[in-house]
Structure 1
Amino acid sequence: MGVSGMSDPEQSRQFTLPRIADHDASATALLDRLGDATAFPLRILQAPRGYGKTALAVTWLRAQRGRVDIRFARLTTAANDRAGFWQEFLDCLEGRAPEVGGRTAPTSAATQERAIRMVAGLADPTLIVLDDYHEAGSQAGANEIDAVLVDLLRQNPQVFIMVAGRRPRALDSLGPLSVDAFIVGADDLRMTATMTAELARSIGLTLDRRGAERLTGELGGWPALVRAAIHQAILTDDPSTPPESFAGQYIAAAFHELASPALRDFALSTAVPSEFDLQTARALGSEEDAWAMISELTASGLLGATPAPSGSVYAYAPAVRRTLLGVMRQTSAELEPRAYRTLMQQAVRGDDPATALFYATQSRDWPAALEVIEACWDRLLLEAPDVLGAASRVLPAAKVSIDARLRMARDHLEPTGERRRRLHPYEPGGLSARLNASVIAGRGSNVRDDELLALLQWGVALLATGDLVTSAYAFAQAHTWATARKDGGSALAAVGAALAHALRGEPALAAPWLADPGLPAWRQTLDGEDHQDALLLALEAARALVLVDTDDAGAVPAALALADDPRRNDLSSLCVFIRAQAILQHGDEPAMLTHATNARAALDVTRRGSMAETYLAIVLVDLLLACEMPSSAREVLEFVEPRRDLRIALGRIHLAERRFGKALEDAEHVLRDQSPLGRYVLEAHLLAARAHDGAGRLPAAHAELRAAADLALIHGRTAPFGSMPPGRFMSLAGNDPSLQGLRPDLYRPDDGSGPRIVTLTPREAQVFHALLEHLGPVGIAQSLGLSPNTVKTHVRTIYRKLGVSSRADAIEQSNRVRIST
């Protein structure tokens, strides 16, 4: 047995770009899977141009020499109808190369019948290889040709067929239903970043992981283009050469091979969005033909598909998309604005104002863009300030100059390159509605500039969604603007900035805003109207939270003095949180239980998923854990909307249960995926310190305590360190004075002023002295004539005031404190 019709198959190959069969990593990986020539009656290689189908086939065929009789042919355009195909099939069987221009056959039926008889007469196992099989019957008779080939395989067990083509055919589904078949598709041949790096290394180019990923991603793993890119990089000695600089001609050739002008227009239109789904494809093309066109483009290699929960998402590789856009702008310029208008209309119907605005500006439909901005200003500020800012910079200057909001967007909303990720969903109402109403109501007397008003509204809206960093920026910009123009709105901006920094746990940044020289005069202008009460409450809330976070002696009075708004909006819920946090740090158990009840009631009416809900849930968990009610604490987390910051509360529950590994996972989750709130980063380091300490990893615990201390130094927030048991804090702090300074209550002053004073009630003082003599609450109860439960309550209060967590620590502290009643 020999090889007929392929004495030198290398000479028959014609390639637009270099083909490097000897280093084809994807082909090499598939050779074993193709198996022996007689393992499958039918092998189908179906992939776009340049995916290495011929390289794979020829490499595999070389290994089959001497095992079967091989007949090889590369079909030409003469095979586009049935008569021409069967003539070239017959030439293949007889070992003749196709003639240029084809050979005229008497009739299709006669040539087909002669080929069938010749196949039936083959005595030895014979492998028939048809390359460029997409040419077979492409103009007429494709399905009939596929059906006859399947019949040949079923009736002639000594015959085996391999076809390699660029487009899907009936054979792809009909063949495997009739005979055993092995199918290789584009996904099997597409190159990965690892393959790209290996190929580059084999021919003398070093690509790091990131470079290989960039090149492979830009070209969609298209093997011929990846090989060409590597060769181009070697020739130019520049691996950063844009892929389309050498791939454009190849991609354009694949585009022009598409079957119809309608399909080519569809490809150009769908290249306008960076990605699209079937619904978008139907809007851009034909309702009836969109799916068929997507299938054709996918088979051509131009388009890729990614599975998604709601259906596949389609996208062109970046270099392919840029090339298609270039072709469109040169040959069909009218398609681009038409596609943008269609996409804009679809986004409006889908309630996606950011996308609608983007496409409106791309199509230069200024009335539509202004209509979207007018209808969805608040949402655009929150969801896509970069899109809003970019739109304001391309809108006609005459339109922008007369709209204060657009001027603000033009000057202050810088492009970020990506959509803003919001922590909490935007909803009308709550904190945003009340403060916005307050700002607008105060416009006549305090805010005289519409652009300043827009900045203030932006800051308030960001507060509502928990984007505290950008909110503080917006208020700072507003303050700068107002100060430069001597506008009374500077005080409103100072209140907003102070509240944003205080809620983020940055008292050192909030304090200067609270000391703004314009605030005293502004307060004197308040006349007790509802909108001004809200602004005053925001100011006092920021001030109280700063005192709480710095563990100031005035924290509890300031927190308890916050007004209790019966309407229960986000602002009043935040006040409940501040009061609860103050009592957690300085109250006794009955007070903690009272404020836990208040926090739970506030949760019932707080907006789901809001920042206020997150803060309330965490402080409620802390209160319940302080009252030794871990099961109730867990129930809180089951009730509220899951948020990443809530892992800090879960970690404290795990810590109370001595599940140190779980607690550490929770802390690392918060640190790894920090939210825009930012308040609980310091506390996550403290949680990690306690988890490491509980597991006996003292160096790691000290390192986490040090990290927390560094944040405390930056932000001025020391209160969280009071949650650590004094004995463990002192052990981890060692002789480090910077760490010791975070808990001055635990260290005797160096000036010889004596021990610190701890104030107890008379009954608590009795219990404290009895604690030094008796081992447990039963002995203390008997000595004082109290119930054991009452003794337990007093002991917990004494431990908290001493800053200890055990009888041994209390005895140690008894020599370092003076009890006052």
Structure 2
Amino acid sequence: MIGKDRHNWSSIPDRRAHPESISHRAQFTKLDNHAALTIIRAPIGYGKSTLVASWLRTIHASGRISVVVPEPAPSMTSGEYWAHVLQQFLSTAIAFPNTVIDPAQDPFTAIVRIFRDNSLPVILVLIRPDKVDGRLDESLAELVRYCRCVNLVVTLTGRTMFPEPHLLDIDQESISAHDLLYTMADTTSVLEDSGAHLVPGDIETIYSMTGGLPVLVRRSISVLKNLPTESGREHLLGHNLRRVIQHYTQECIAAEAHVVGQYDLVVATAPARELTVDTVTYLLESDESPQQIRDRLIALEAAGVISYVDTGVVETWRLAPAIRQSILTSHPVGGSDPAGRLSSLSRAQLDAGAHASALDYAIEAQDWALAVDILDKHWATMIADNLELVRSAFQQIPPESTAKHSSFRAARNLYLQHPDEQVTFGSALPESAEGLRELGASAEAVSALTIGCIQALMLIHAGEYKRAVDITVRLIELSRIIEESDRHDISAQLSTMRAQWAITFQLNGRLVESTSLARMAYWGASSQKIGYIARSAAGTAALNWAMVGELHRARQWSDLEEQHRNIEITMQSQVKVAGLTACALTSLDSLDFAGAERALTELGLPTENDALYADEFWAFTVYARSQFALSNNDAFSALSLLRRTVAAHPSQCNPTSMAGPLMRSTEIDLLLALGEGNKAAALAEGIVDAGTNPWTLVSVARVRQRMGQNKSAITLCHQYQWKGEPYPRAQMESLLVQAVAHSELGEHHHAITAWSKACAIADQTGLLRPFSTIAAEDIAALEAAASTRSSALSEFMKAVTPESFPKSVHIVTLTGGEQRVLALLVLGMTSVSMARELHLSTNTIKSQLRSLYKKLGAHNRDEAIAQAHALQLI
């Protein structure tokens, strides 16, 4: 049957009532894009067909014909499948006026001809074409390439079909298993629209137990409808829902696993939240090869039992949490109870250095002694990226299990503070040297050191970097006293602590102290063979040198960091972020744009890896990406990223952080590159004491020079004591600003002096990119006058490098009279009213309005006000 809106309603799967009331706005948006190919990929039970049916039934007057081809029969060949698709077309009685079907013609060719001979737009939905015996990827890609009127939507389970769709030269959209899970809002909508009686707590219980898996949320409705309205309801809801989940697990998941002969693997690996080849090998205790294990996992994925998780590190699969829990609690293996298997897996993760994962499994096993031990020894490696996990662990571990750990109890009290509250301490470290010596000689020394480290970390998360550094200074002295006393052995923890202390100083902008601590942490961790700490420390040192522009030293530390990159630690983003950011910056400074792009790609684009831009290194990654954008004339996208990320970190952008001045100077540079002179100037004017920081000094001086304020730019550049704490890149850029400013003022001797010093820095450090911050004609004029014969300049001149900033920017400035007229214009006053208010003639007001409109490029009052806002004149 064809409806009035030309949909083939008879072919659309019948998904009635509650599913169609769910808000799938994000997924509907992707489907509404009508890409040539839309892939909906998820295991069974995630509601792939329901989503398509709901979407097709919510399209109004789309002008498209929709055809849904049901799931193929088992073992159907590709030829049989295309005949099946063609038959579906014919059986729906859709009229294609220009179609003549030759019975002897190949079915696929006939389908292509149908589409090519007709201009009617068609939505073709194929349910599970991956079940066909034979690959259909090429023919489907060919179909949408040659038939532009077709929007193809396919539902799949595994990656046997279109494993890497981004490599296809086809406009496409993808909807994943994660996208299809119900949110709490979706679950609420389903249950409230079901007509079942609900009491407070029902929805939360169902969402928690089902994990938002659509099929289980829908099946919970029957449980709700059969519950008593009063006594015993909560217990019965949990009990009956567990039975429903177990029934679905056996009826569907276990049945599919049996079909592909992998049921034993599903049961044996249920303890693992995430399945990798190594994890499965460990749990199976099998002598199968890694490839054999991988083939078994892929078979389960293709059957729709498990889903693939793109971690970017190692191939990973996952069972839906509710299904995993059902299998885990109802299928003991080898006489081992679930808790024992989880504890075993926790220890295996611990041995592999995956401390966060180990803690997670220990908590699930309720192995409190193991959980306490993990936290006690590895808190510093987990807090940066797993604060909520640590906080949750402290909440769940019974107080009696921590009786012998005084430092643990103190840390517990600290961690359980509300994250929005002011960070306070039960006891403070002594401030005097004498007090620290007394503490260092006491039995509480190591406990105090541990608690102090946690205090400093909590302050970092609260954005209180100065207080964190103040505590860290005392911790460093306390650790020295403890080491000298020979009463406690803290060598195992000291490398980890020093690595975090280095980051603390780095985030406060004290890069010299940070590098010193990172160096000690690196050599200590290397001697103790703690690979991930060595990599983190080396990356911190490399980033510090890269930020200041010491390329040779940055590369030395990057080489050391490279030696530890085979360590697979997925829960510590700083382990790779610092090193990769350093690589990007050093590559940019040496004009190796391909190398910089590789490093930034490995870091991940913000849209792909937002979590990456939420860690403590977010400002450095945004800075590196902004510098790359400046080198590629793509300042607009970088400015959008910067503003979005800064808005997400209000507490971290403050006067005690390195992020604050770094992001302000970067925003000025991006605005200047875009020619937004007024905005850049307004932002620069808002910086108090710009000359106290090398980044803000250079950016503000550059804006002033481009505005023609050459004397002001030169004066600002002399405010920083470059010899006290050298920043070669910032100093070189400052000298380049001075050289151009002196030249424009006719002060040629001073211009040549500044230019020669800048070239000398470039020759010493290998810095090339700073030359791109001034105009090519200025470079030519300065070098012609100075004749430095700089090798770095020669290398720069050989490269094709775009200028990062315009030679000058237009600044709209208003006279006092124009500013007053603008203020009254905003208030909506007429010319007559303005004249009366300002005690001027109407003709004078009109003259000022004409001048104002001309400067703003406006033709009327509204345009003038809008442009004045854009230029930050009001």
Q: TM-score normalised to the size of structure 2?
A: 0.40
Q: TM-score normalised to the size of structure 1?
A: 0.42
Which structure is larger by alpha-carbon Rg, 1 or 2? 1
